[in-house]
């Protein structure tokens, strides 16, 4: 990329990455939302995705830790509040554990990470390292998958409640509170990227960062699909569903 | 683990991890060595494995960089020589590129990493981060997959030469020189681990480190298998074979 895009052109290119590479398009999500998963597959999804949820505040804190702009730090801090809450049992991670509880997974087993797919661990940690090591602009741009999450979440809640008798609105509480948070966060991040990607090189880095993040989410589902959708290839040591 | 193992008991447990979890057992290797891969699949394997090879000296240098024992640094330095050689065109990475050349892959494309599976990148970088961030004992223990590599390499050379007309002894030169290097390196690393894992906790960490490394190699093949063995699931942006 050698020409400078206008902020709106940059936004259009960012949204186009989502339209082509966001994990809403992944075959595993079609199975999950379309009622085609077994309970064991839903368990495996929730168990693996738990690690992603658990590392989000670590990722966000590492972004705050390297940010010299108090306004950005203050704004970004709301993400810590959303995920960690103000007391034990509150916040997004606690709500995710209500989902794994509701699916019949032992909480100590989930939080021990003992059954995690290694590929999930590698993808999540790649994201954490990316945010800790790249420029602040790239770190913020990598969060922009949230631009696309409200649509997938409404699809997920609707599809999972309709198709699975082992899922309830209460166990899906994580998702019901997320869309307004995601909208607020992604609006801030998008405005930041549009304002601070001032050269063609910076714009290219911001676009690459969003592609990278789409790759992280996609790779997590690829690993899940490979391990748990027939023909199953569960790697040594990972969670083996009862059914 | 709460009891202290003798050094030989520790070695037996390390070797047992290899017997159960080393990627010689992975279904993709059965296909590769048994002549069941298409040329495109062999290309995808070589292209992805290139990134692993390319990062090995980075991993080894980061180990040397945190080692305060000159004897270990001196010994470990031979790994840099093996992979980087003493001049352009020499060493393991250059020999790996002869393999990708021989398979008809464009060298600039290979080294650009443009077609790499994201999951390959995440797994390889997890290994690099592990070695840079864990204790020296764990970093050294994670190299012990080399204990098991001479067997897989002879199986590979023999199988690939027999089954694939697009592979020659010259293109497989990487492998023909590796076994004595791997033996020398793994003997040193094994002796180090046996001598320096002096508590049950250290022994447990050494065993975990080798499991981790087996997971890295396994996850790389899982990603390859999922993407390139039917039903193919090639993620957005990754290498698409002609055939």
Instruction: Please write the tens of the pLDDT for every residue from A168-223.
Output: 999 999 999 999 999 999 999 999 999 999 999 999 999 999 999 999 999 999 99
Q: How far is CA B45 from the centre of its chain?
A: 12
**Binary contact (A222, B218; C-beta < 8 A):** no
Which chain A residue shows the shortest CA-CA distance from B229?
Answer: A226
Report d(CA A57, CA A79) in Å as an integer: 7
- The pLDDT value recorded for residue A230 is 93
Using CB atoms, which residue from B118, B129, B225 is nearest to A218?
Answer: B118
We find that the CATH architecture of domain A38-227 is Up-down Bundle (1.20)
**Binary contact (A225, B233; C-beta < 8 A):** yes
> Within an 8 Å CB–CB cutoff, is residue B118 touching chain A?
yes
pLDDT band at A243 (very low <50, low <70, confident <90, very high): low
HSE (side-chain half, CA atoms, 13 Å) at A153? 19
Rounded mean pLDDT, A89-115: 97
Which chain B residue shows the shortest CA-CA distance from A126?
Answer: B122
Q: Which residues of chain B have pLDDT under 50?
A: none
- The pLDDT value recorded for residue B2 is 76
**Binary contact (A236, B21; C-beta < 8 A):** yes
In chain B, DSSP assigns E strands to none
Report d(CA A89, CA A137) in Å as an integer: 33
**Binary contact (A225, B222; C-beta < 8 A):** no
- Which one-letter DSSP state was computed for residue B231? S
pLDDT tens track for B28-45: 999 999 999 999 999 999
- The pLDDT value recorded for residue B213 is 98
User: Domain spans of chain B?
Assistant: 7-227
Count of C-beta atoms within a 10 Å radius of residue B136: 16
Which chain B residue shows the shortest CA-CA distance from A216?
Answer: B118
Calculate how close chain B gets to A87, using CA atoms only, in Å.
31
A211 vs B contacts (CB less than 8 Å):
237
Query: Which of residues A2 and A102 earns the better pLDDT score?
Result: A102
Share of chain A above pLDDT 70, in %: 99
pLDDT tens track for A11-33: 999 999 999 999 999 999 999 99
Chosen from A24, A30, A119 to mutate, greatest number of chain B CBs within 10 A: A119
Report d(CA B53, CA B64) in Å as an integer: 18
Interface predicted TM-score (ipTM) of this complex, two decimals: 0.92
We find that the CATH architecture of domain B7-227 is Up-down Bundle (1.20)
Calculate how close chain B gets to A219, using CA atoms only, in Å.
6
Residue A1 has pLDDT above 60, yes or no: no
B241 within 8 A of B39, measured Cβ to Cβ: yes
- Tell me, letter by letter, the H, E, C secondary structure of chain A: CCCCCCHHHHHHHHHHHHHHHCHHHCHHHHHHHCCCCCHHHHHHHHHHHHHHHHHHHHHHHHHHHCCCCHHHHHHHHHHHHHHHCCCCCCHHHHHHHHHHHHCCCCHHHHHHCCCCCHHHHHHHHHHHHHHHHCCHHHHHHHHHHHHHHHHHHHHHHHHHHHHCCCCCCCCCHHHHHHHHHHHHHHHHHHHHHHHHCCCHHHHHHHHHHHHHHHHHHHHHHHHHHHHHCCCCCCCCCCCCCCC
Calculate how close chain A gets to B96, using CA atoms only, in Å.
24
Residue A2 has pLDDT above 80, yes or no: no
């Amino acid at each position: 990329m050698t020409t400078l895009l206008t902020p709106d052109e940059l936004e259009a290119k960012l949204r186009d990455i989502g339209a082509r590479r966001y994990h809403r398009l992944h075959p595993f999500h079609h199975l999950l939302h379309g009622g085609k998963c077994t309970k064991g597959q839903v368990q495996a999804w929730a168990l693996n995705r738990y690690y992603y949820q658990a590392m989000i505040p670590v990722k966000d804190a590492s972004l705050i830790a390297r940010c010299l702009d108090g306004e950005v730090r203050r704004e970004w801090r709301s993400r810590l509040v959303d995920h960690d809450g103000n007391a034990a049992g509150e916040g997004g991670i606690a709500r995710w554990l209500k989902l794994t509880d509701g699916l019949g997974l032992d909480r100590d087993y989930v939080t021990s990470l003992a059954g995690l797919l290694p590929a999930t661990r590698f993808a999540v940690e790649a994201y954490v390292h990316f945010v800790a090591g790249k420029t602040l602009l790239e770190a913020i741009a990598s969060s922009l998958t949230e631009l696309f999450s409200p649509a997938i979440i409404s699809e997920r809640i609707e599809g999972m409640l309709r198709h699975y008798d082992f899922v309830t609105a209460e166990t899906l509480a994580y998702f019901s509170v997320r869309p307004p948070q995601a909208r607020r966060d992604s609006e801030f991040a998008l405005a930041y990227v549009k304002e601070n990607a001032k050269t063609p090189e910076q714009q290219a880095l911001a676009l690459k960062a969003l592609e990278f993040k789409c790759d992280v989410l996609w790779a997590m589902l690829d690993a899940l699909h490979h391990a748990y959708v027939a023909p199953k290839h569960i790697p040594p040591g990972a969670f083996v569903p009862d059914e």
